[in-house]
Structure 1
């Protein structure tokens, strides 16, 4: 059986990719790897509290490795930190790195290029599958997820802090991907067939935050169009119970 680590975001695509990998019985998952914003002690992009991430790992029964990144990390710093972590994971016997990405060709190519330098092969169990079919299967299997971050340009406050169900999918505006694959929304998965026990939490405040790209991103691997990403997001704070 091939030895792999899983790039765990705490959200639904990660959880569903994890489920699919377990079904295939081709990989032995050695650990979860998650990037955190070291300034806030929260999961990068999702804004999820570190304590809830720890509870997910405990319920999954896997060790968790946290990669700490500052809030204004440049692309060169990002690549260096993740590259060093990948080399250490290879030294520990891992040969593959698993992701929950579905589309976004440029991101996939970047991941593959960076991992190849460390001697790792990237695996994408959900790659190019129909996102409407994926989210409906996710719900039908009994997974439970709640939105923790939404793009304020595309979704209003009513969509953040909301459980992902069939009504949620129906209510999404035209053009918004059912899995939020273009960054429209991010989620926290708190129950489902991969967990030993559900994760308990209460809903805290909702806040609007803006972000600016790092001033040191002159070496950014992404195009100018990708750099002009939406910078205002609505976050819902989830509090461990």
Structure 2
């Protein structure tokens, strides 16, 4: 196998696609690393429950490292977790960023401070091409969260498809959601041994975040 890597993993489509591409390039993932909001118990940014993340870890057969962070110590805690991964053999960290320079810079600084290489498999690819590739590969991602300034609640709970991408574009939003218009949870695809069975409770928190549970 190639270079051992840890995946900066949100559970959303970009991090899953970057994992898919990293494996295709010959890298060996030794862990999925997900930051958890210490106060809420769900993942930062996507609000995915630890239970669902653990099921993904089992389905794709890569160990999961949950990193509890508060807003104040986020960067420091992230770096401590990277150091632990380095001690376990990781040589690099994979990030799913596409083209936002300060996001890339953030990941590069964290890795530089911990002696790891930062790798960005999706970098400077066309946003729409990437999300269409994700769908065509056979991945299934449900819209978990929307920014109500860009999209309405009707998009919550829908699985990405080429048709849905056109509906997203019609709102004036970025089709890839790279500006935070929407976030996803990936529940099936080529690297999954089984589909994560989702139960849509219909419950919505903060007016824009769908509560997803597994059966």
1:135 aligns with one of 131, 136, 149: 131
Q: State the TM-score, normalized to the length of structure 1.
A: 0.85
* Residues 55-104 of structure 1: per-residue CA shift (max 9 Å, x gap): 0000010111000123xx12xx1111112111222222211000111121
Q: Is the 8 A contact 1:141 1:193 kept in 2?
A: yes
Q: Distance in 1 between matches of 2:24 and 2:85?
A: 23
**Which secondary structure does the structure 2 equivalent of 1:149 belong to?**
strand
Q: Distance in 2 between matches of 1:85 and 1:23?
A: 25
**Which moves more between the two structures, 131-140 or 145-154?**
131-140
Q: Is the 8 A contact 2:60 2:191 kept in 1?
A: yes
Q: Distance in 2 between matches of 1:68 and 1:154?
A: 30
Report the count of equivalent residues: 213
**Which moves more between the two structures, 187-196 or 31-40?**
31-40
| Residue 23 (structure 1) aligned with residue 24 (structure 2) | yes
| Residue 197 (structure 1) aligned with residue 194 (structure 2) | yes
Q: Is the 8 A contact 2:150 2:172 kept in 1?
A: no
1:32 maps to what in 2?
32
User: Per-residue deviation at 1:32?
Assistant: 0.7
User: Per-residue deviation at 1:206?
Assistant: 3.9
2:173 maps to what in 1?
176
2:66 maps to what in 1?
66
Q: Is the 8 A contact 1:206 1:234 kept in 2?
A: no
1:234 aligns with one of 180, 203, 208: 208
**Which secondary structure does the structure 2 equivalent of 1:42 belong to?**
coil
2:120 maps to what in 1?
124
- Based on CA coordinates, which of the two structures has the bigger radius of gyration? 1
Q: Distance in 2 between matches of 1:42 and 1:205?
A: 18
Q: Distance in 2 between matches of 1:55 and 1:190?
A: 9
**Which secondary structure does the structure 1 equivalent of 2:128 belong to?**
helix
- Deviating above 3 A after TM superposition, structure 1's stretches of 4 or more consecutive aligned residues are none
User: Per-residue deviation at 1:174?
Assistant: 5.0
Residue ranges of structure 1 left out of the alignment (5+ in a row): 210-232
Q: Distance in 1 between matches of 2:171 and 2:196?
A: 32
User: Per-residue deviation at 1:127?
Assistant: 0.6
**Which secondary structure does the structure 2 equivalent of 1:44 belong to?**
coil
